Chains A and B, each alone.
Chain A
Amino acid sequence: MDMSSHPLLASMDEPPPFPSNYPQLRRLDRSVYCQICKEPFQGPVSIACGHSFCSSCIRSSLDVLKKCPSCNEPASEGSIRRNRALEEITDAWEESRPIIYGFAQPPIAKKRPAPDSGSKPTSSSNTKKLKTSSREASGSRSQSPTKFRISNEEQDVDQTEDLQDEGNDDLDDVQELTENDEAPCPICQATLPISSIPMHIEKGCPPPKTRTNGIRKGNQKADWKKVFSGQTSSGKTKEVELKRITKPNYMIATPADLRAILAEYSLPTTGDKEILIKRVQEWIILFNSNLDTSHPSSLSALRARLSDVEASKRRDKEKGKDDMVAQLGNRDGLQKYAKDKKSEFERLKREIMERDKRRKDEEEGKGGRENAIEVE
């Protein structure tokens, strides 16, 4: 069947594969592909076993299973390290691929009908091309680290400024700390009352609420303004925000905690806890992996991607419902549905029973139970 005729497969702008008589080039081509998304690495990182993936791919994968997708070695997010060399290789290969693809193409040219006149000029022009491209590559290579150095310095400056500020504020308190005094959390550096730090860490360092908000009111207002005025903002606010988000402990985080995280990055805070968790998880993957690349997206682009992901998941779910309806048409499907949804049925049954019990006497309760059983 011809793929292009399929109504749902729109334009696929795949680069053509190398001809099969160049297995080396095919291998080279494959080697810059992430094993998870099967695309060239984007923000490549390595994990403890040495395998590399796109940052966002391995982060999503480790959220589900704490193993290396390639070798099944136990792996954790803590072992993720940015792989700058691989990123450079991927970028350089992407850039050179069309050129090398051109070289690999015409076996006809190898026949050389006119040996000297034909081949010489092309080969010299080729080497020229190669030289320029390698120069470009080396240019970008020398560029990106300097960029980072600058941003690192800025970050350092900001941090030291922050530290100094805090130092000045706290100078008097530092001598004798009581439980009611505030101190920076040892993990996320947020200033909190000492007594609440253990719980704060337990919850996975959610951004501090009311108290610190009060202290930094002025700053935050300005931050919000910058967030809303698009992402042209100066380096400084970006630097403040460009810090890896610590995962909250989803088991004990309250919806309010999750909303606070979302609000910090001006994301929608609607929905129940399940939706909030999904959104926070997705955002942390997007945001943290965006820190592992030298071509980071703007925060507004990340937000747009998050909203795309949510929209498509919603569509998929609705799509799934259609399939469900079809599935319910036959007996096997019905059985499977009943089995899959058993826990949900049980939960609904319990809920109905409890509600009824609360509202009225035994009679009502029995009725609810009977109904629920009929449903099942």
Chain B
Amino acid sequence: MSALPKRILKETERLMADSPPGISAAPKDDNLRHFDVTVTGPESSPYEGGIFKLELFLPEEYPMNPPKVRFLTKIYHPNIDKLGRICLDILKDKWSPALQIRTVLLSIQALLGAPNPDDPLANDVAQHWKENQSAAIEQAREWTRQFAQ
């Protein structure tokens, strides 16, 4: 295990010592590449007041390849599907090794504050969002109350 890249150790240490507001991340005891993450819903978003659990995994090629992140808490969001997978460019083609766990989690938090139904992953949710935004937002609030509190 001593061969775990120094960068991962450093990032972990910094994340835990001073994590960004509304975000916490801690590695599992048996595997430092596997993180338990919680993100609080941004203020004045339908997810406000919710605490969302995620899992984050650093693949062997990290930081050359992006971390794998997934919502464990059910969430009603046009860019997050039923399985918790996230449609976010920096987790795919816009990944750069200059990014890090911190920036990824901040981007995910920002995604909660700014759903983008034009680049959907959950098509039904996106449809709902486009056709009746207020109803969709109300639904997202309801899910937040039901699953994330």
Contact = CB atoms under 8 A, between A and B. Distances in A.
Interface of A: 1, 3, 6-10, 12, 14, 35-39, 57, 60-61, 63-65, 67, 69-70, 72, 308-309, 311-313, 315-317, 319-320, 323, 332, 335-336
B133 interface: no
A304 to B, nearest CB: 12
Contact of A37 (B4, B6, B27): B6
Contacts of B33: 316, 319
B12 A3 contact: yes
Contact of B31 (A3, A64, A323): A323
Given A9-B32, A61-B97, A69-B98, A332 B83 contact: yes
Interface in B21-71: 26-27, 29-34, 57, 60-61, 63-65
A3 B3 contact: no
B64 A70 contact: no
A323 B2 CA distance: 19
Contacts of B65: 64
A67 to B, nearest CB: 7
B11 interface: yes
B138 interface: no
B16 A1 contact: yes
B63 A36 contact: yes
B60 A36 contact: no
Interface pairs A-B: 3 shortest CB-CB: A312-B3, A35-B98, A69-B98
A35 B103 CA distance: 13
Contacts of B17: 3
Given A9-B12, A336-B83, A36 B3 contact: no
Nearest to B31: A319
A220 B12 CA distance: 48
B98 A8 contact: no
Given A61-B64, A64-B64, 11 more contacts: A1-B26, A3-B17, A9-B9, A38-B10, A38-B100, A39-B6, A39-B7, A61-B97, A65-B96, A312-B4, A315-B3
